[in-house]
Structure formats: C-alpha cells, structure tokens
Amino acid sequence: MPAKRPIVAICAGLLILMASVPTADTHSVAQALNNDAIVPQRGRTMDEVENRFGPPDTRILPVGDPPITRWIYPDFKVYFEHQYLIHSVAN
C-alpha cells in the first residue's frame, strides 16, 4: 500500500496545477474587463468616470444604506457606493 501514496500525491498535485491555469479565453476576457477603455474600473470616483466616459445617458438616484447610485451608458452600467465605483457591467 505505501507505493500508492506517491502516485496519489502526484495526481492531486497535477489536478491542482491544471485547475489553477486559466485558459486563453478566460485570461483575455478578464484582461478585457479590467481594461478602463471598455468599462471603468472599481475604485474610480464619479468625477473620474464622468471625465473619462462623459455624462451617462441616465443617472438613477441613490437607493439604500449605504447609498448605491447607478449610471447607465450605452455600452455599460456602473454602480457607485457614495462617490466610488464598486461595479461595472458591460451590456
């Protein structure tokens, strides 16, 4: 039985390694979503977003506590908590 332990450890190691390597498609999508040219990145202020992307088509007033504000652009939506961007969604 002791001879099986190294084989099990090698197989487990290979599975972990394979699961942690992103595919090209996953990497390119993640890179595109983190690109400020497509959608604004988390942490930007309202002023920074408006300076970079212009005024939104629609501004939805803050709702809740903490206040969440939504801006709608033709290609994406952004969500702010107070003055800071917390989420961007491409349409």
Structure tokens at 14: 């290979």
Say how far apart CA 72 and CA 89 lie, in whole Å. Answer: 10
Compute the distance between CA of residue 67 and CA of residue 81 in angstroms, rounded to an integer: 6
Q: What is the pLDDT of residues 61-77, one digit of tens each?
A: 999 999 999 999 999 99
- Identify the pLDDT of residue 73: 96
pTM above 0.85, yes or no: no
